[in-house]
A = this chain, B = another copy of it.
Amino acid sequence: MREATRDVGAALARLQRASRVLVTSHAAPDGDALGSELGFAELARALGIAATIVNRDPHPASLAFLPGLETIRVADLPAGFEHDFDLGVLLECPDLDRPGFAGFGSLPLLNLDHHLENALYGEVNVVDEDAPAVGEMVLAMAETAGIAVTASMATNLYAALVTDTGDFRYSNATPRAFTAAARLVTAGAKPDAIAEALWEHNPARVVRLTAEVLATLELLAGGRLAVIACDRAMLARAGARPEDTENLVNIPRAIDGVRVAVFLKALADGAVRVSLRSRGDVDVQSVARTFGGGGHRNAAGCTLKGGLADARRALLAAVLPVVESS
User: Which residues of chain A (170-229) have a CB below 8 Å from chain B?
Assistant: 170-171, 173-176, 178-179, 181-183, 185-186, 191-192, 195-196, 199-204, 207-208, 210-215, 217, 219, 223, 226
Q: How far is the CB of A181 from chain B (nearest CB, A)?
A: 4
Would B204 and A208 count as touching, CB distance under 8 A? no
- A-side interface size class: 35 or more
Asked if A20 is an interface residue, CB under 8 A from chain B, the answer is no
The quantity of this chain's copies bound in the complex is 2
Give bound CA distance, A258 to B241, whole Å. 20
Q: How far is the CB of A296 from chain B (nearest CB, A)?
A: 15
Would A192 and B178 count as touching, CB distance under 8 A? no
Would B175 and A178 count as touching, CB distance under 8 A? no
Known contacts A168-B181, A199-B254, A204-B223: does B215 contact A192 (CB below 8 Å)? no
CB-nearest residue of chain B relative to A213?
Answer: B211
A199: which B residues are within 8 A, CB to CB?
169, 254
Would B204 and A214 count as touching, CB distance under 8 A? no
Asked if A252 is an interface residue, CB under 8 A from chain B, the answer is yes
A214: which B residues are within 8 A, CB to CB?
207-208, 210-211, 214
